Structure formats: structure tokens, C-alpha cells
Amino acid sequence: MNLVHVITEVRGDYTFVVYNYYSGDVKEVRVDADKYALYDDRNSLAGLPDACPFLRFDTEGKAWCTVHFTRPDICRDYCCWRLLIRDAQGKRAGRVLYQRTFLSDNDELGRLWDEMKPQLSGLNDEEWDMAVIRFLTAAGYHVRE
Ligand code: SF4
């Protein structure tokens, strides 16, 4: 996403102006207060020259948006999902962000998620993904990784 989001101004105090190369949108973002250390450590981006300047990975390899609370609007809709959930008509119904953040776009999927949750506790990350995909697929959704 570095090819999309470019930092055009450093305002200090972890605040930046970001330009969207494609849409022309300009947005001020600020590193989340609990992610300063993560943002300051650029080691996890070694070998990823095209990564968004605000993306970081923690020591367990989990991806984080360090400006999550002020991220650009386009990110709220499209970026950084690990699992994309579509309904039977192909319409986006929800997403899984980062490792296990589940966002539903409609009440039906929200209810399904509430049913699913108790069955996911205690699973490791791989088991969790497989269980979520299995559950959603059985309910008629399509899940893209
Ligand atoms: S969600 Fe965050 S890390 Fe991902 S592209 Fe947007 S600003 Fe960058």
C-alpha cells in the first residue's frame, strides 16, 4: 500500500498527512497511542518496500495498522482483511481483520458470528481460520483468504 498511500507531511507527535495516489484524497492520520513502539520499530517491514508506511508486524507475525483509529476511509472498506466474506450473491458480508477481528456488514452474519464464537475458543490460529471458513461455508457464504 505504500504505492497507494504516501506520507506527504510529518507533523510531529506521530501525526502525518497521507496522500492517496489513486483517489487524490488527503488525510491526516495519527499513530494509535498504544502502538508507538510498534510503529517505531521498522524491522518487521524489512523486505517489504511496497508495504503501507503504517503497517507493522508484531513478534508473533501478526499484522497491525498502527493508525487504525484514524486510518483513511478506503482502508475502512477494503484494506488489511485476512478473510473476506461474501454472501451467496457475491456481496461483501464481512471481514476478518488482523488475526481474529471479525466485522460483519449485516445483522444475519452478526448473529452467525455470535453462534460461532463459543466454538472457537481454545483453537490456535490455523484451527480458528479453518473452523470459521467451515462454519461460514456451511451457512452459504464464500470466504476468500
Ligand atoms: S489499514 Fe492501515 S496499514 Fe492498512 S493500508 Fe490502511 S493505513 Fe495502511
> CB of 56 closer than 6 A to ligand 1?
no
Query: What gap in Å lies between CA 6 and CA 52, rounded to an integer?
Result: 8
Dihedral over Cα of 62, 66, 70, 76: its sign: negative
Q: What is the pLDDT of residue 1?
A: 53
Which residue, 29, 61, 78, sits at the end of a domain?
A: 78
Q: What is the pLDDT of residue 3?
A: 66
> CB of 67 closer than 6 A to ligand 1?
yes
> Which residue shows C-alpha cell 466474506?
85
Same domain, 72 and 90: no
Q: What is the pLDDT of residue 47?
A: 79
> CB of 143 closer than 6 A to ligand 1?
no
Same domain, 64 and 120: no
Which residue, 60, 78, 96, sits at the end of a domain?
A: 78
Same domain, 70 and 85: no
Same domain, 72 and 108: no
Same domain, 73 and 10: yes
Fill in the amino acid letter for 94. G
Same domain, 17 and 67: yes
- Top mutation candidate among 17, 22, 54 for ligand 1, by most atoms within 8 Å of CB: 54
Name the closest-CA residue to atom 2, ligand 1.
65
Listed in sequence order, the residues at least 6 apart from 60 whose beta carbon sits closer than 8 Å to its beta carbon are: none
CA proximity to 27, closest of 89, 65, 74: 74
86 Cα to the center of ligand 1, angstroms: 21
Which atom from ligand 1 is nearest to the alpha carbon of 64? 3
Same domain, 10 and 74: yes
How many domains, in total, are found in the chain? Answer: 2
> CB of 79 closer than 6 A to ligand 1?
yes
Q: What is the pLDDT of residue 128?
A: 94
Phi then psi for residue 58, to 5 deg, are: -85, -175
> Which residue shows C-alpha cell 524491522?
43
Same domain, 101 and 69: no
Q: What is the pLDDT of residue 101?
A: 77
Same domain, 15 and 65: yes
Beta strands, E only, the chain: 5-12, 15-20, 26-30, 55-57, 63-65, 81-86, 92-97, 101-104, 142-144
What residues make up the domain containing 116? 81-144
Same domain, 90 and 41: no
Same domain, 15 and 71: yes
Tell me the pLDDT of the chain (145 aa) as tens digits: 556 788 999 999 999 999 987 778 899 999 999 999 999 999 988 877 878 899 888 887 777 889 989 988 877 766 667 888 999 998 889 888 767 878 888 999 999 999 999 999 999 989 999 999 999 999 999 998 7
Same domain, 43 and 71: yes
75 Cα to the center of ligand 1, angstroms: 6
